[in-house]
Amino acid sequence: MGNRGRIGVSRWVRRGVVPAAAAGALVLGLGGLPSANASGGGGAHKLSLTQTNRGCDGAQIGQTQQARFGFVNMIATGERHVVANVVLKGARPNTTYSVRVIQLVPGDADCSTVDATLTTDPLGNGHVLVHETVLDGATGAWVAVNNQADFTQFYATATTPMSHRR
């Protein structure tokens, strides 16, 4: 699915009409995503969103923060795609966040590209689904979510390994 599909999903998210069944299908590995065992993908990983700071290479900066603000379900499919289902909870209400899926490629930093935006509802909750092609040589990935108006307010996952077949 190219940018057109991702933009459509983001629009649905902002309007609050993303069907729960679609999010559930991603978690279960349905909806066109082959199982990791059948396709050689890296499998699904559920990662907590915390306010632990990370460098572009995924290395932790400062202390680990324990408070959780949602989660990310991430899967690298056998078709050389990574899919991240980002669920932000208890963040600043009615706020737009930049979402980046940062792939770890030796000698290269993939952290400057915003892959999607997420706007929270009046309770500070939001969701976005991001599809991205796996970069050549990528060994892992992590997700960063930043408040567009205040970059000191951020959430991040730990890094997770990615494996795939060509």
> pLDDT band for position 163 (50/70/90)?
low
Predicted pLDDT of residue 36: 38
The CATH number that applies at residue 73 is 2.60.40
For residue 11, what are the domain limits?
3-28+45-160
In a domain, 71, yes or no: yes
In a domain, 37, yes or no: no
- The tens digit of pLDDT for each residue in 26-51 reads 333 333 333 333 334 457 899 999 99
Contact between 111 and 102 (Cβ < 8 Å)? yes
Q: What is the dihedral of CA 71, 142, 54, 14, to 10 degrees?
A: -50
**pTM given for the model:** 0.73
In a domain, 131, yes or no: yes
Total structural domains within the chain: 1
Q: Is 3 exposed, middle or buried (0-12, 13-18, 19+ CB in 10 A)?
A: exposed
> pLDDT band for position 4 (50/70/90)?
very low
